[in-house]
Structure 1
Amino acid sequence: MNEWPVVRLDEIAAAEKSAVSKPYGSAIVRDDYVRDGVPVVRGVNLADWRFRDEDFVFISEDLADTMPGSRLQPGDLVFTHRGSVGQVSMIPRGPRFPRYAVSTSQVKARLDPARALAEFYFYWFRSPVGRASILQGVSTVGVPGLARPVETIKGLRVPLPPLSEQRRIASVLGVLDDLIEVEERAAAQADELWRVVLAAARHDRESVPLSSLASFVNGKNFTKGGGTHGLPVIRTPEVRNGPTSSTVLNDVRASAENLADPGDILFVWSGSLLASRWRWAQGLVNQHIFKVIPNMGVPDWLVLWAIEELMGDFLSLAADKATTMGHIKRADLDRVVNVPARSAWEDLDAMIRPYWDDALSAQMHASDVAAARDELLPLLMSGRVRVSEDLAVA
C-alpha cells in the first residue's frame, strides 16, 4: 500500500482566490445565451469522462467578465455538483477556444502545478475511491446535488504522491486513453465508410416492411433476481455505454435469443429509443430492448441501416406517448422502408463487409483496453501497483 500523505483539495489548489469556484455574482440563464462568444461548459461536455469540445451554448464576453470565478483555462478540473453528480473532466491542454466559462451546475478546481498534476487528479476522481469521495456528500432530496458545492469540493480528501510519481501514473493511463481514442476513431470512420458505400449504391430499390428483414425478440426482466454474479444485464445505459460498475448481474440460464454477443444488433424500443451494434462481452437482453436477428440471407448491416432509416418515424411515435413512457408498438415494425433490391445484396455485402467487420473489431479492442484501464486505475491509485521511471509497470 502507498504511504502518500492525504490532503484537502484546496491545500493543493492554485493561489488565486477563485481557484475553486462556481460563477457567483451572476447566474447563467437561458436568456443570456448568444450566437457566438464564450462557450459555457455544461454537463453535456463532461459525459463519459471525456471533455467534449462541442455542443456548447455561448455567453457574451461582457457577461463572462462579470464572473471571474467562472473563467476556465487548460488543466482546470470541472466537477458537476447538480444532476449528474460525480462527473469530472479536465479542460484540454490544447483547447479549441481561447476561453471557456463554467456553468452554474459545475465547480472548477485549478491546482497548483508545483505540487499537483491535473491529469493525475482527473484519474484519481475516476477511481472508485475518488468518485465515492464526491458522492458521499450528495443530497438525494429532489434533484441530486451537493448542498454546499464549493465547500464540498474544497474539502475533498486526496492523496499527494511526489509530482514525479503523479506524472508517471498519469502517463500510463493517458497512453491507454489515447489508444482507446484511436480505436474509437477508427471504428467511427469504418462505420461512416460502409454507410457511404450504401448511400452511393446505384441499384434498384424496393419497399419492404422492416419486420420482413429480421426477427425482433423482446428481452426479459433479468434485473429481477439480479445481483453481483453472472452475466451483465443489458439495459438502455448498457446499450449506450456498455457494462459499468453499476450494471446488474444475473446468473440465470437464458436462451440464445435473449443473449447478446459482440456484433448483435440491439434496439431500445421504450424510453430513449436507439439502435446499436453490441460490442462488449456476452450479456442478457433486458425487457424493453429487442435483440434483432436478421432473417436468412439478410445482411446485418442492412438491418441496422433500415432501423436507422425509420428511427425518425419511431421517435415521433414515441413522443406521442410521452405522457406515459415513450415507446413503439410491435405493429410499428411493419412500417415500410426503402432498401436496395435483394439482387444487389451480395455485391453490396462484398464491399460493405470489410468496413463493418473493421468497425466492430476496433470497437471491441477499444472496449478491451478500457476494461484493462479500469482494472489498473484503482491499483495505481492505491499504490498496490507502482510505475517505474521508464513508465513500465513495476
Structure 2
Amino acid sequence: MSEQDATLDEFVEEGESESTDSANIDPNTLDQEQFGPFTLSTPGEWTAKRLGDIKQLITRGKQPTYDDDGVPVINQECIYWDGWHFENLRYLEEDVAEGWKEKYFPESGDVIVNSTGQGTLGRAQVYPGDQRRAIDSHVTLLRTDEQLCPHFHRYFFESHLGQALLYSMCVNGSTGQIELSKTRLDLLPTPLPPLEEQRKIASVLYNVDQAIQKTEAVIEKIERLKQGLLDDLFTKGLSESNSLRPSPEDHPGLYKKERRQTIPSEWNVESLQNLCVENITYGIVQPGPHVEDGVPYINTEDMTDGDIPTEGLSRTSPEIAEKYSRSQIHAEELVVTIRATIGAVDQVPPELEGANLTRGTARVVPGDKVDNTFLLWAIRSNNFQSELDARVKGTTFDEINLDQLGKIPVPHPDIDEQDRIVDELSTIEERMENEESYLEQLKRLKQGLMQDLLSGEVRTTDVDIPVLDAVAQHG
C-alpha cells in the first residue's frame, strides 16, 4: 500500500469512527444560499458563487475539418469519468489550426466539459497540459480564477448535485438533442470551501479514482490471463503434475489433429449434442405479456457477458410456460444464446430453478461424459466460438439453428483431467470476482465521499490529508 493509499484509508476509517463526530456537520447548521429557484446549503466557512463571477474564460470549441494527421483535437469521446481517453483524439490540419484563436487551445488546469447529448453532456476532466491540443465544438472549456481548485470543480460536476444543477439550469434542447448553454453556465452556482479544503477534498477523491483505475487495470490483466489460460488448457490440457503439457511444436507425439485444432492425443472428440443427456432445445416462441407473479424466462439480452441475472427478468403465464416444459431450466444446466449475440453461455443459478427460455436461447444438459462446468468453459473457448461463427446464418439478425449448434465438436479428456482444468479456471475466476467486488466497493466509497465532502456534511479541516501533487499543480 502506498503512502497515499494509507492516508486515504486513515481518513475513511476516521470519518466512520466516533472519535471524529465533530467533523460531521449537523445539516440544520448549514447556511442556505439562494440562486434563483435553487438553494445551496454550505457550512459557515464556505461560500458559493455563480460560475460567471469567478470565470476567466468559458468557451465552446470550433467545429474542425478533420484530417488524418495534424493538431490533436479533443472531442467528447476523449472525456469520461474514469479519465482522459486520448486514444480517441481526432486531428486538424496544421495550416487551419494556425488560424484558430488561442482560446480554443486549453491550458493546464482548465476543466473541459462534454456539451451535447443525453448521458454524454456533463462529463468533465481537468486538462493536464502535457501537449498542445485544440477543442471541438462539442466540448466547453472552463477557466476560473484562483478561488476554485480545478479538481474540486471537476468532482463537483461529477456529484449528483452538480449533475442535477447542470441539467436543470444549463441545458437547452429536447431529449437526445440537448446542448450545454454557455450563457446559462454563467449562472451555475458553485460551492467554494477555503482553497486548502478544496485541495484536500480533491486529493481524497483523486486517490479513490487512482485506486479504481489500478483495480480496473488488474481486472483487464486477469481477463487476458484467463483467456490465455483457457486457450492453453483446451489445446494442451494438463499433465498429471497439473502443469500444461509442452507445446505441440516441441512434442508433436503428444498431440493429434482434429478438424481445425490440435489436441492431446488421449482426448476424445464428440459433438455437443452427443455429450448431452437430452436434446438441445430453444424456449418459448411467444411469451405473451408480462405476468407479475408468472414464470421467469431468459431473453438473449439478459445474458450480458454470459451472466444470467436472478432478478428483473420478464415473466410469462404458468400456462404458456407449461406448454414449453421442454425448455424448463434447472440448476447447473447451461444456457447458450443462439440469436443476435451468439455464444454467450452460463450455468443456471439455483434461484432460477424451474424458469424458462425464449427462442433466442438454448438449453444444454450435459450427460455423464462431461462435467457441467467443463462444458461451460469448452463453449467459451476460442475453438468452440470459431466453430459457432462459421455456422452463423441470418439476414435480419445473426442466428445459429439447433442442428448446427449440436454438431459442433467438443474435445474432452477423462473426468479427472476435466476436474483439474475446471479447478485451474475456477481459481482465476475467483481472483476476477474478488477484484470486481473490490471495484464495486471503491465506486460506492467514491459516491459516498462525494456526497459527504462536496456538500460540507463531512469536513477535512482537522484531518491530516496531504495535498497530492496532481491536485496542487493545477491550483
Q: TM-score normalized by structure 1?
A: 0.69
User: Partners in 1 of 2:190 and 2:124 — Cα distance?
Assistant: 16
Q: Give the counterpart letter for 1:64 in structure 2.
A: A
User: Partners in 2 of 1:28 and 1:211 — Cα distance?
Assistant: 60
CA-CA distance at 1:197 after TM superposition: 2.1
Other-structure match for 1:22: 60
Select which of 108, 114, 117 maps to 1:74. 108
**Aligned pairs (5 A) from 1:173-184:** 173-184=205-216
**Unmatched 5+ residue regions in structure 1?**
226-233, 243-248, 259-263
SS at match of 2:91: strand
User: Partners in 1 of 2:361 and 2:204 — Cα distance?
Assistant: 39
Other-structure match for 2:385: 309
Select which of 164, 169, 176 maps to 1:143. 176
Other-structure match for 1:187: 219
The C-alpha deviation readout for 1:206-258, integer Å capped at 9, x for no partner, is: 5855997999889x999998xxxxxxxx9979958x9xxxxxx979999xx99
Distance 1:211 1:104, change over 3 A: farther
Q: TM-score normalized by structure 2?
A: 0.58
Select which of 351, 368, 373 maps to 2:441. 368
Other-structure match for 1:89: 124
**Residue 381, structure 1, aligned to residue 454, structure 2:** yes
Q: Is the 8 A contact 1:38 1:60 kept in 2?
A: yes
User: Partners in 2 of 1:308 and 1:11 — Cα distance?
Assistant: 62
SS at match of 2:464: coil
User: Partners in 1 of 2:412 and 2:71 — Cα distance?
Assistant: 50
Q: Give the counterpart letter for 1:196 in structure 2.
A: G
SS at match of 1:108: strand
Q: Is the 8 A contact 2:373 2:422 kept in 1?
A: no
Other-structure match for 1:107: 140
**Residue 12, structure 1, aligned to residue 54, structure 2:** yes
Q: Is the 8 A contact 2:283 2:359 kept in 1?
A: no
User: Partners in 1 of 2:300 and 2:194 — Cα distance?
Assistant: 42
Q: Is the 8 A contact 1:79 1:88 kept in 2?
A: yes
Count of equivalent residues:
351
CA-CA distance at 1:121 after TM superposition: 1.1
**Unmatched 5+ residue regions in structure 2?**
1-29, 31-41, 237-261, 264-268, 293-298, 317-327, 467-475
After alignment, is 41-50 or 156-165 more displaced? Answer: 41-50
Distance 1:359 1:265, change over 3 A: farther
Other-structure match for 1:44: 77
User: Partners in 2 of 1:128 and 1:224 — Cα distance?
Assistant: 35
Other-structure match for 1:65: 98
Q: Is the 8 A contact 1:216 1:290 kept in 2?
A: yes
Q: Is the 8 A contact 2:109 2:129 kept in 1?
A: no
Other-structure match for 1:171: 203
The C-alpha deviation readout for 1:285-337, integer Å capped at 9, x for no partner, is: 999997999955234544444699369949x868x43xxxx565775992866
User: Partners in 1 of 2:74 and 2:387 — Cα distance?
Assistant: 30
User: Partners in 1 of 2:388 and 2:104 — Cα distance?
Assistant: 38
Q: Give the counterpart letter for 1:10 in structure 2.
A: G
Other-structure match for 1:334: 405
CA-CA distance at 1:71 after TM superposition: 1.3
Query: Percent of aligned pairs with the same residue?
Result: 18
Distance 1:317 1:378, change over 3 A: farther
SS at match of 1:58: strand
After alignment, is 80-89 or 339-348 more displaced? Answer: 339-348
User: Partners in 2 of 1:75 and 1:292 — Cα distance?
Assistant: 55
- The root-mean-square deviation of aligned C-alpha atoms, in Å, is 4.9
The C-alpha deviation readout for 1:93-144, integer Å capped at 9, x for no partner, is: 374xx122222211121233x2211111111011111001121243453632
CA-CA distance at 1:159 after TM superposition: 0.8
Distance 1:175 1:20, change over 3 A: same
CA-CA distance at 1:362 after TM superposition: 0.6
User: Partners in 2 of 1:150 and 1:99 — Cα distance?
Assistant: 23
Distance 1:349 1:86, change over 3 A: same
